């Protein structure tokens, strides 16, 4: 019986501490502010990733174009030699 009372008491304390933690989120410049910052960063991240992907795609297209030009020039040179 004593074990059950201890268990119930510890559960009640845990619930109380979690409730206080949730109330603390409303404190200005507290956890709510940090959560807001994290959400702002998360919302801007896809746009930043898209910008990086676009830049990489442009660089890849440029390199493909360079390779195609070099390939065509070498092919033209080989045909000229025959």
What whole-number distance in Å separates Cα of residue 39 and Cα of residue 37?
A: 5
Residue 64's pLDDT is 97
Q: Are 24 and 31 in contact (CB under 8 A)?
A: yes
Residue 52's pLDDT is 93
Residue 81's pLDDT is 84
pTM for the whole thing?
0.52
Q: What is the pLDDT of residues 7-47, one digit of tens each?
A: 556 667 767 666 666 656 666 676 667 777 888 888 899 99
What whole-number distance in Å separates Cα of residue 45 and Cα of residue 38?
A: 11
């Amino acid at each position: 019986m004593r074990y059950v009372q201890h268990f119930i008491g510890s559960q009640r304390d845990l619930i109380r501490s979690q409730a206080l933690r949730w109330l603390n989120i409303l404190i200005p410049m507290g956890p709510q502010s940090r959560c807001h910052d994290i959400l702002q960063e998360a919302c801007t991240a896809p746009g930043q990733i898209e910008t990086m992907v676009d830049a990489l795609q442009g660089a890849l297209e440029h390199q493909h174009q360079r390779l195609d030009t070099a390939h065509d020039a070498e092919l033209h040179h080989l045909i000229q030699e025959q």
